[in-house]
């Protein structure tokens, strides 16, 4: 077939239909790819938001409730005029049945130890607390992780007469520690 200028200018109707069909398919493929990427991104974003909300209602709330119990116990001991307990007074969590196997006993003791190791407890806080410079009594060993929001920590402070429980962002917690002269591990 000889390629002449006239044959280049006017494509055959079948060729025009084929070109249009290919262009439509190409647009449809790109549209579907973009739609899939956007939808996947939204699903991931909603999952992360949901994970943060579950953390705020789950482990972070559980930690807050444990430390609220600790704060109340420490305040009650102070109000009675007693000394601060040598161990952190965590709320009781279940009881070990008397007929527990050695494996159950070991698992129960590990869970209790894990709960104690979640927190840093300053037993000498009663001699350090002053109204203008409260003492760190107890705080989470590590920050409570969130994805979209800043990590949090719970902190119990003692000002010489009153125990207070605070939930702080990680940066506010570190600023508070620095202001009170508490050295935290890096």
Domain that holds residue 49: 13-56
Helices and strands of the chain, counted as H and E runs: 5, 4
Q: Are 33 and 64 within one domain?
A: no
Residue 166 in this model has a pLDDT that exceeds 80: yes
Q: Which of 1-10, 73-82, 133-142 shows the lowest per-residue confidence on average (mean pLDDT)?
A: 1-10
From residue 184, alpha-carbon distances to 139, 163, 174 in Å are 11, 21, 8
- Give residue-wise pLDDT tens across range 15-70: 888 888 999 999 999 999 999 999 999 998 888 777 767 766 667 778 888 899 99
pTM over 0.85: no
Q: Are 99 and 130 within one domain?
A: yes
Q: Are 52 and 62 within one domain?
A: no
Q: Are 27 and 68 within one domain?
A: no
Residue 115, in any domain of the structure: yes
The total number of structural domains in the chain stands at 2
Is residue 69 classed exposed, middle or buried when 0-12, 13-18 and 19+ CB atoms within 10 A define those classes? middle
76 or 12, greater pLDDT: 76
- Give residue-wise pLDDT tens across range 89-133: 888 877 777 888 888 888 888 888 887 888 888 887 777 767 778
29 or 182, greater pLDDT: 29
Q: Are 170 and 114 within one domain?
A: yes
Q: Are 94 and 108 within one domain?
A: yes
Residue 122, in any domain of the structure: yes
């Amino acid at each position: 077939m000889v390629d002449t200028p006239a044959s280049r200018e006017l494509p055959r109707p079948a060729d025009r239909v084929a070109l249009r069909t290919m262009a439509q398919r190409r647009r449809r493929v790109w549209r579907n790819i973009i739609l899939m990427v956007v939808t996947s991104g939204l699903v991931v974003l909603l999952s992360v938001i949901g994970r943060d909300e579950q953390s705020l209602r789950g482990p972070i709330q559980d930690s807050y409730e444990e430390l609220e119990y600790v704060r109340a116990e420490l305040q009650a001991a102070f109000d009675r005029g007693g000394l601060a307990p040598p161990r952190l007074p965590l709320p009781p969590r279940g009881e070990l049945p008397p007929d527990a196997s050695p494996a159950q006993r070991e698992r129960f003791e590990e869970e209790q130890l894990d709960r104690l190791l979640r927190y840093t407890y300053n037993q000498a806080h009663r001699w350090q607390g002053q109204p203008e410079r409260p003492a760190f009594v107890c705080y989470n060993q590590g920050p409570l992780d969130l994805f979209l929001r800043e990590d949090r920590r719970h902190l119990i402070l003692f000002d010489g007469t009153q125990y207070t429980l605070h939930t702080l962002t990680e940066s506010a917690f570190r600023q508070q520690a620095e202001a009170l002269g508490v050295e935290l591990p890096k």
